[in-house]
Amino acid sequence: MSQTQTMSDRSQVTGTQSDELAEANESNSAAKLELLELGHRAARRFIEAERNTEVMPSPKAIADLDAFDHVGLDDPWPSAEVIKLLGSVGSAAAMGQNSGRYFGFVNGGVAPVALAAAALSTAWDQNLALPVMSPAGSRIDAAAARMIVDVLGLPSQAVATFCGGATIANLTAVITARDTLIERTGWDVHRQGLSGAPPISVIASAEAHISVLKVLRLAGIGSDAVTVVPTDDCGRLVAAELPELSPQSGPTLVLLQAGNVNTGHSDPFDAIHDHLEASGAPNTWVHVDGAFGLWANATPERRQHVAGVERADSWATDGHKWLNSPYDAGVVICADPARLHRSMASTAAYLPIEDGERSLMNLGLQMSQAARAVPIWAILASEGRDGVARAVEGCCRVAEHFADRLAAAGAEVLAPVVLNQVLVSFGDGATTDGVVEAVQRDGTCWMGATEWQGRRAMRISVSDISTTIADADASIDAVLACRERVTKQDL
């Protein structure tokens, strides 16, 4: 470290400064620091309270949000007042997503180191479109990308890039797959477009995430191209039901899933790849939507649930779900970096990607982009392989605890818990919905409702790494008390 240059070693350019320039610089910095301090104090008050207050903001706090409609373009507020409004009315109505007791959707918390790294990198305000725009951001991004591929157990030559979320990652990968599949038939999709191009067949499970269906639309493939493969009672694609492919089959895109949003179960990747390889189909691409489930591959205790996932051509995952980086952070990973580059390059000169040539505007949909990888790098650098494995495993253990205690209390767990998702029924649909509503109002914790194979269910997603068994116990007590109230009303 003794050789490392720090900010204070950076040569000063103030020697030639005029008095006016020096004064302007000082007041610019002072304004930033003063407002940042206000924001920091508001964040501090929020963080000090977030684990001890109700997860769902009160109806009064939500009604107070009208204040944001009362500040208009013709009557702007002083900056300090704007920050104060955010810190009072905004904070009061923010969801307690980092309370340790938020189990809605598959929304992760934020790791402390990631929060601090994000705040610092916001101060840097870097644009990562090209390395020349940000030496620091670009190198940190490249380091984070290498660590992501490694920690997820994916092929070492694969390239990872960061984007707004798994939906964008799915879109990026599906466009790359589409271009590759069509180009292999001799059709130049970049020059000739899609109209008249050889059609792509898509194979997807009946449980494909809604974002994947949207992506097919956006990529100009459309839902008519999809052969839907039935799933089992845990939401896994049934390999024996895959359509027959042969050496004569045309371009085929296979869309698989690691981590069903309801059950957490994953498709049987090995069986599917064996089927595809045995068919001799010459032109296939396998993409895995692993928004949260791909992280099972980061822990030896859960890896068997995604066995064979590394055999795909591309993967989408999220940092903002199970890794607990801040929003918006998705990751797209492509086994063949040249394919991603060919589809995403902004120039027609399809240069090979060499070391040091990692230009993000040529590896993804966006040109200008935030240094999303900085908080992700901070988590991976401070947790390491073992820390990430422990964090993922910890959420799975809490999920199992939920299932065990709720089942012991007479609730029905609708699918075996393999990762962080738990599906619970409290009897008929109306009772289950009634319990979910009562829990949301109660405020101890927050869970959503879903539909699973024709039945209403409470869905519990343990995606905040800070959640403890004590958080789960307090939440389970609240759920059971709500069930008691709801079932008594029914009598």
Ligand X SMILES: *Cc1c(COP(=O)(O)O)cnc(C)c1O
Query: Which stretches of the chain bind ligand X, using CB under 6 A?
Result: 106, 165-167, 209, 211, 257, 259, 261, 289, 291-292, 318, 330
Residue 209 CB, nearest approach to ligand X (Å): 4
Cβ proximity to ligand X, 223 vs 489, nearer residue: 223
Say if residue 328 is preceded by a cis peptide, omega within 30 of 0. Answer: yes
Cβ proximity to ligand X, 322 vs 426, nearer residue: 322
Cβ proximity to ligand X, 210 vs 348, nearer residue: 210
- CA-to-CA distance for 152 and 149, rounded, in angstroms? 5
C-alpha gyration radius of the chain: 25
Residue 212 CB, nearest approach to ligand X (Å): 7
Torsion of CA 352, 356, 361, 367, to 10 degrees: -160
Torsion of CA 9, 13, 14, 20, to 10 degrees: -140
Task: Please identify the residue of the shown chain whose CB is closest to the bound ligand X.
Answer: 165
Give the three-class secondary structure for 158. Answer: coil
Which residue in this structure is represented by tokens 């962080």? 420
Cβ proximity to ligand X, 99 vs 211, nearer residue: 211
Residue 107 CB, nearest approach to ligand X (Å): 9
- CA-to-CA distance for 367 and 369, rounded, in angstroms? 6
Which tokens go with 278?
Answer: 């045995």
CB-side neighbour CA atoms (13 Å) of 458: 33
Cβ proximity to ligand X, 178 vs 209, nearer residue: 209
- CA-to-CA distance for 292 and 420, rounded, in angstroms? 9
Residue 423 CB, nearest approach to ligand X (Å): 14
Instruction: List, as one string, the DSSP characters of 403-460.
Output: HHHHHHTT-EE-S--SSSEEEEE-SSHHHHHHHHHHHHHH-S-B-EEEEETTEEEEEE
Residue 318 CB, nearest approach to ligand X (Å): 5
Residue 263 CB, nearest approach to ligand X (Å): 11
- CA-to-CA distance for 16 and 299, rounded, in angstroms? 56
Residue 472 CB, nearest approach to ligand X (Å): 21
Residue 134 CB, nearest approach to ligand X (Å): 24
Which residue in this structure is represented by tokens 């990308």? 145
Contact (Cβ atoms closer than 8 angstroms) between residue 423 and residue 413: yes
Cβ proximity to ligand X, 211 vs 475, nearer residue: 211
Cβ proximity to ligand X, 91 vs 257, nearer residue: 257
Q: Which of 305, 320, 294 is nearest to 168 (CA)?
A: 320
Residue 162 CB, nearest approach to ligand X (Å): 12
Cβ proximity to ligand X, 87 vs 364, nearer residue: 364
Cβ proximity to ligand X, 201 vs 257, nearer residue: 257
Q: Which of 51, 147, 58, 57 is nearest to 99 (CA)?
A: 51
- CA-to-CA distance for 351 and 338, rounded, in angstroms? 9
Cβ proximity to ligand X, 289 vs 383, nearer residue: 289
Residue 448 CB, nearest approach to ligand X (Å): 13
In eight-state DSSP terms, residue 371 is: -
- CA-to-CA distance for 110 and 104, rounded, in angstroms? 15
- CA-to-CA distance for 191 and 30, rounded, in angstroms? 53
